[in-house]
Structure 1
Amino acid sequence: MEGENEVKLHGMWASPFSKRVELALRLKGIPYEYIEEDLGNKSQLLLQYNPVHKKIPVLVHNGKPITESYIILEYIDETWKTSPKLFPEDPYKRAKVRFWASFIQQQLLESMSRVVTSDGEAQEKAMEEMFERLGVFEQGMKEYLPGGSASFTNGENLGLLDILMGTTFGPYKAHEQVSGIKTMDPDRYPLLFSWITALNEHPLMKELHPPYDKLVELLQFINHTKRSQY
């Protein structure tokens, strides 16, 4: 039947949240149509599909929209049960992965945001908090990346934590250039650094990373805009 299992993704080229969904779709081998959104002039379809937040990404499966990147990842894994599975099958292991996924989304991203939107003492405090949380995450990932090996948390395949980490921290060099702050320090966080290095070498991750110079230009614009608001 025409349109059966039709998948469309409304996203934006530089958004790590959009990249999460693209990566999951490609890992699963799910054909999809990508629709680039101009966030300064959002399409009527995007506003129709996500009237609450009016944000990307939006996955449209057979005409039905799903919003919020993490919820979309869960939906993809539950709908397309083919390998690789993004979430562990075991309920306890799945709960632990969800815990660390929440840590990445709420703790790490929040700290990073405060660092780039603050100055002076406020920025120094935000940096201390970010480094502390990265240290906590480094310790927590020893269970998933034993021995500090440059591997993935889902064996030979990428899992949920790999997707979140790779799309969030993969372009760290561009962020460091713009902020002037070294976040992914190999001496301070050897496990996280080796993990990111391995993720950045994954063929799908290489395909999906935004162009470096274009990303730097965008981050400089965002950084300037946010700082002018404080």
Structure 2
Amino acid sequence: MAAVKLLGAWLSPFNCRVICALKLKGIAYEYMEEDLLNKSPLLLQYNPVHKKIPVLVHGGRPICESAVILRYIDETWPENPLLPTDPYERAVALFWIKFADDKTSSIAMMYLTTGEEQDKATKECSDMLETIEEHGLIEGKKFFGGDEINMVDIAFCSVAHWLGVIEEVIGLKAFEPHKFPKLNSWILNFKSVPVIKESLPDTETMLAFFMGRREMVLASKSS
């Protein structure tokens, strides 16, 4: 079997997406942590276009962008599929994955900004959560695809885990459990899956990192 390597950074939800998929599939891989402030020659070689993590390397061939990597993993190792086989259900799943890619950036913007910019990002995040609550989740179902975890759940890992940390760092709330009962139930179900739980970064470590990162970013903007 061709060797599988993952170049990533522990703080990234996009990296976490790939780790979750690999573990759900039972794929053995070598993990290589990247310093995003001092990117390795290997990362620059494998992703010369965007120079970003994550990068999956399978048999020496790199695959970039987390959503693309997830599709590659699912197609290369078809056991325990992460996308529905029914064409319509598959199309719906791909729609929500694209929605996650387009909208979850508002979570990062909440802590990278202040004032009106931060208010705008928080509003965009709230709108995203409302859309997920109203249209993305099915009443009585544990996960986006029903009773089994799939690629859509993985795509929204930043909502399940990163959002709460960011809210604590900035002292603002976009997510209130009583306002989003279906989403709150999904978060609890998602984070209770053993493979997911062990793949998510430690909350306290995240808090310390993001507090320091926010101070650094805001200081650089004011100087």
TM-score under structure 1 normalisation? 0.89
Give the 5 Å matches for 1:76-225.
76-83=73-80, 85-107=81-103, 109-142=104-137, 145-147=138-140, 149=141, 151-225=142-216
2:31 counterpart residue number: 34
Q: Distance in 1 between matches of 2:179 and 2:32?
A: 39
Q: How big is each residue's C-alpha offset from its partner over 1:18-71, in whole Å with a ceiling of 9 and x where there is no partner?
A: 111111011001111111111122211111111111111110101101010100
Gap runs ≥5 in structure 2: none
1:66 counterpart residue number: 63
Q: Structure 1 pair 128/156, CA: closer, same or farther in 2 (3 Å)?
A: closer
TM-score under structure 2 normalisation? 0.91
Q: How big is each residue's C-alpha offset from its partner over 1:129-156, in whole Å with a ceiling of 9 and x where there is no partner?
A: 32122111211123xx323x5x123444
Gap runs ≥5 in structure 1: none
Root-mean-square deviation (Å) = 1.8
Q: Distance in 1 between matches of 2:214 and 2:128?
A: 22
For the 8 Å contact 1:184–1:192, the answer to whether it is kept is no
Q: Structure 1 pair 38/113, CA: closer, same or farther in 2 (3 Å)?
A: closer
Bigger mean CA offset, 170-179 vs 66-75: 170-179
* Structure 1 position 168, deviation (Å): 4.2
